[in-house]
Amino acid sequence: MGTTGKRVLLIDDEPDHVATLAMLLIEAGHRVECATNALYAIDVARRFHPQFVFVDIGLQYIDGYQTVRKLKERFKGARIFALTGRSGEETRRKSLEAGFEEHLVKPVDVSVIEELLASPG
């Protein structure tokens, strides 16, 4: 598929979800870093320079909407997607207004994420 080697940052405070997705992406040949909150995620992004970022909206302390704004200020080249358990038109609208490229609702099939990683952006 030509997606091998993408740098992917997963930001989610649910350890089981992030670990499972990270494992699947690593098995597909991607380099993956994980963060459980926005402050740590910014430190990781500074060091890792992710090409793709998947952010849970329901993070503690600094939610996903604020997180995407902070990441977009600092890391202009990264493509950032909401990956959350929250659905509904209002939540989707808020996600797009905050700066997410797309609003994905958990559980998301890894093939959907692979398609995003393969897309030119």
- Domain count of the chain? 1
Residue 87 main-chain phi, psi, to 5 deg:
-120, -175
Q: Render pLDDT for 43-73 as a digit per residue (tens, 0 to 9).
A: 999 999 999 999 999 998 899 999 999 999 9
Residue 79 lies in a domain: yes
Structural domain range at position 18: 7-118
Q: Is the Cα dihedral 87, 88, 92, 95 positive or negative?
A: negative
pLDDT at 3 over 80: no
pLDDT at 14 over 70: yes
Residue 1 lies in a domain: no
Residue 41 lies in a domain: yes
Q: Render pLDDT for 65-111 as a digit per residue (tens, 0 to 9).
A: 999 999 999 988 899 999 999 899 999 999 999 999 999 999 899 99
Q: CATH number, domain at 68? A: 3.40.50.2300
Residue 48 lies in a domain: yes
Residue 98 lies in a domain: yes
Q: How confident is the model at residue 4 (pLDDT cuts 50, 70, 90)?
A: low
Residue 2 lies in a domain: no
CA pair distance 45, 53, nearest whole angstrom:
9
Q: Which pLDDT does position 57 carry in this prediction?
A: 95
Degrees (nearest 5) of the Cα angle 76, 85, 117? 40
CA pair distance 39, 121, nearest whole angstrom:
26
This prediction has a pTM of: 0.93
